[in-house]
Copies of this chain bind each other. A is one copy, B any other.
Amino acid sequence: MDVLDHHNVTVLLLSLGLLLAAARLLGELARSVNLPAVLGEILAGILAGPTVLGAVAPAIHAFLFPCVGGCALAFDGLTTLAIVLFLLVAGMEVNLSAVWRQGKTALWVGLAGMALPFALGFAAAWWLPQLMGHQAGAPRLAFALFMATALSISALPIIAKILMDLNIYRSDLGVTVVAAAVLNDLLGWLVFAVILGLLGAGGGLPVGYTIGLTLLFTLMMLTLFPWAIHRALPWIQAHTSWPGGVLGFALSLCLLAAAFTEWIGIHAIFGSFLAGVALGHSSHLRERTRTTIEQFVSFIFAPLFFASIGLKVNFLDHFNPLLTLTVLVLALCGKILGSTLGGRGAGLPWRDALGIGFGMSAQGTMGIILGVLALQYGLISQTVFVSLVIMALVTSLLSGPAMQAVLRLKKARRFVDYLAPSGFVLRLKAADRWQLIEEFAQLAAPLAGCAVTEIAALVRQREQVMATGIGKGLAVPHARLEGLAEPLVLVGLAPLGIDFDAPDDLPAMLIFFILTPQDDSGIQLEILADIAGTFKSRPMRESCLQVSSYTEFLALVRSGQAH
């Protein structure tokens, strides 16, 4: 029996460990400057791959990421599994009922948003194959169809992430974008199945069979399976260990569906995506089960897959600026224009239609996955692949900020974003609230660039109008400050309690001292609501009083989980 030997096991574990660490690290760095994490993850792969490490230290690169042999095969098996699981999670995020509900608008946006970039991509690849990087030998029709699909497919997981970040995931507009993206992706995958059929990559099945089975499978997965799963889940939860029964069921279903679509000649991920849609539809799937799968997959498997993209090609050697620019312009213009016109066609006002257009323009993950496959099948050159990856990255970067600007949205602002380490007091010295205001004003003055007396006077004034004890041991003395650029939140703990005249008569132990700019009227309310929400559970408040440093406090609040 073929097994990995000692050397291969060592290299496999080492390369996985290093790649995961690098991907997570750069993913976090990307996030910290407000970019999508996936950008950092792909960058980690480019650093560890032939582009950087391979050029700087070829021996180490060859040792860590061998091109042939058991280690390479095992690594490929793992990244295949990783992307299959990632698509399961992406599928689970789809709200099937919302798709049906927003049917008409979504249909317009999805179809028009697909048709225009598809037409542009096809025309360019068919009449100007050289410009689009067509390589001699690759079948021209399949190539043109592929470029058309790659330029017109959306990136559901990225889109969902951006909408959640903007807090409009559950709004009508958000649901429309998601529904249209789902339709878009399903159509895109069907076209891709046809392309694979044209290439004869469908495992020997005739193209007609592939298309027929794909349609049948898709239909079953959107109708019969969601119904059957919804009925099966309570039974599974009632009669098996929790959550082992449901986890095993979900993952087996995902793997078997993936094997089926791979067998009929379209890629495995199509099956796992639809399995995810069918599973995610059931309200009997517990939130806890959902997040267990989602967190493990999004933070372990997905980074490994996206990092592995950078391992495949040398991004510097195969970078063609003209091609990249062409692909980018066609993708962006086609998708934004098409989706916006689709939105108008469904009767939406211009602003909403344009917002939807930008929302649909993120073409990250799915485009890359298609590219990886097309590269494997020899349909596209490494140069085209590189330009597709760059196009995917750029469109994903633009989508969020553009939507925000067009729809005049504000990101949800959290009080933690305005904390300063020097404004944290582990044990407050003050004996009553007036002393406490003095104590905080001393700390706040250098941070706010204001006089201590001014700050103290303003907060005292506000406190005299109405006490700021909000109950449950929380108090939020606050004031607006002229000339302040950014809100400022100071935190202090007083385990002995300070009376703040709260409605429930409990003394305050967690005290937030909040200064906001004079001209931003909304932010004060947002911060107060966020604080009340964050500390509404008793274990959270109790854990909070037990922290021993600012870092521990921050860790507690960011994770939103008591010990």
Contact = CB atoms under 8 A, between A and B. Distances in A.
A299 B244 CA distance: 5
A554 B73 contact: no
Interface string A415-455: 00000000000000000000000000000000000000000
Contact of A10 (B32, B201, B262, B558): B262
B76 A2 contact: yes
A563 B12 contact: no
B237 A559 contact: yes
A9 B238 contact: no
B303 A248 contact: yes
Interface in A34-79: 37, 67-78
A561 B286 contact: yes
A350 interface: no
B244 A18 contact: no
B77 A2 contact: no
How many A residues are at the interface, by size bracket?
Answer: 35 or more
B238 A551 contact: yes
Kindly name the residue among A6, A203, A245, A262 whose own CB sees the greatest number of chain B CB atoms within 10 A: A6
User: Which residue among A23, A252, A292 has the maximum number of chain B CB atoms within 10 Å of its CB?
Assistant: A252
Contact of A28 (B203, B234, B245): B245
29 contacts: A1-B72, A2-B69, A3-B73, A4-B80, A6-B262, A9-B80, A9-B268, A10-B268, A12-B80, A13-B81, A14-B255, A14-B256, A16-B81, A16-B255, A17-B254, A18-B252, A20-B248, A24-B244, A24-B245, A234-B549, A237-B555, A237-B559, A238-B554, A239-B554, A244-B298, A244-B299, A251-B300, A287-B563, A292-B295
Interface of A: 1-4, 6-7, 9-14, 16-18, 20-21, 23-25, 27-28, 31-32, 37, 67-78, 80-81, 84, 201, 203, 233-245, 247-249, 251-256, 258-259, 262-263, 268, 283-284, 286-288, 291-293, 295-296, 298-300, 303, 312, 376, 549, 551-552, 554-556, 558-561, 563
Given A237-B554, A286-B559, 19 more contacts: A1-B312, A13-B84, A17-B253, A17-B259, A20-B251, A20-B252, A21-B256, A24-B245, A28-B241, A28-B244, A28-B245, A31-B240, A70-B77, A74-B74, A237-B556, A286-B563, A287-B563, A292-B292, A296-B296
